[in-house]
Amino acid sequence: MVKVAVLGAAGGIGQPLSLLLKANTTITELALFDIANTAGVAADLSHINTPAKVTGYKGDEQLEGALKGADVVVIPAGVPRKPGMTRDDLFKINAGIVKNLATAAAKHCPKAFMAIISNPVNSTVPIVAEVFKAHGVYDAKRIFGVTTLDIVRANTFVSELKNTEPQSTNVPVIGGHSGVTIIPVLSATGHSFTDEQVERLTQRIQYGGDEVVKAKDGAGSATLSMAYAGARFVNSLLEASVLKKTGVTECTYVKSDVAEGLEYFSTVVELGPEGVSKIHPIPSLNAHEKKLLDAAVPELKANIQKGVDFVKNA
């Protein structure tokens, strides 16, 4: 039995993500939770002839049912950006939402893998970790910030430039998930780029989210590409933990000591039966990438502290 719970399942990301998870035949139960509209989404998805039994839960009083027995909890609950906003501007609303959902998960499914999509990811992951610590159920190996969309974007942009197959292009993107904290390691792709290409690619990967926010013009941020990326990440988690495949890796934002002075950082992480099985170090960086890392550190540090303080000082 493999139960996956999606919290925020009726939202812009939640619906297509749940659709893609319903198509994942490793999942036997898909629990959809939201504060509104879950019944319709659950009824709709339940007609698809794949193994996952779909259940819908609405409102705080049904949260326990969604979480009980969950092996994986994916959280895309919360508000998205509008043009002119930073991800950190979402902290005010989303920090509280994530904290409440994490509190329920710590009580009802403390051993679940927690995959956090809600922004600002740089801060919401520390929030989940601090909540689990406060409940005495913390396991750093099981809490992940989903940064997969940065990798998906980087792979697309590089493959467009280099005419390579998008599916087999693999650009490590390390650091965090916001503007300057997103560090594409283009030197690790095996391709050569002019300085101008590096400049343009880096800017586009760091601000790909803004590109979508601008195009949606007030109607939200990336949902469909995020659903794809989120489904890929959950699939990797299940391949490593349930199907016991070895060598499954994803860049993901986890508790890590690879970057001096930062408690959380994304690098390539090998996944295993218990979640994180091996955290790869920061790959060898060229001078340009070292500058990107230097620029990322202060913002990432502040974002992490803000998340930790939100729980500790509550």
Least Å from the CB of residue 125 to ligand LMR: 13
By CB under 6 A, which span of 30-38, 159-167, 209-217, 267-275 interacts with ligand LMR? Answer: 209-217
CB–CB of 186/204 below 8 Å? no
Q: What are phi and psi of 44, to 5 degrees?
A: -60, -55
Known binding residue 37? Answer is no
- Residue the block writes with tokens 């259940």: 55
Give me the half-sphere count of Cα atoms (radius 13 Å) on the Cβ side of residue 283: 18
Closest to 80 (Cα-Cα) out of 219, 228, 232: 219
Of 108, 135, 177, 191, catalytic = 177
Classify residue 186 by burial, with Cβ atoms within 10 Å: 0-12, 13-18, 19+: buried
CA pair distance 239, 260, nearest whole angstrom: 31
By CB under 6 A, which span of 13-21, 99-107, 137-145, 205-213 interacts with ligand LMR? Answer: 205-213
Return the one option of ligand NAD, ligand LMR, none that residue 176 interacts with (CB less than 5 to 8 A, by type).
none
Q: Which of 159, 221, 256, 266 binds ligand LMR (CB under 6 A)?
A: 221
CB–CB of 184/206 below 8 Å? yes
In the complex, residue closest to ligand LMR by CB = 209
Told to judge if 108 belongs to the known catalytic residues of this protein, a careful annotator would answer: no
Least Å from the CB of residue 177 to ligand LMR: 6
Least Å from the CB of residue 81 to ligand NAD: 6
Total interface residues for ligand NAD by CB under 6 A: 33
Positions annotated as catalytic residues are 177
Binding residues: 8-14, 34, 81, 87, 94, 117-119, 153, 226
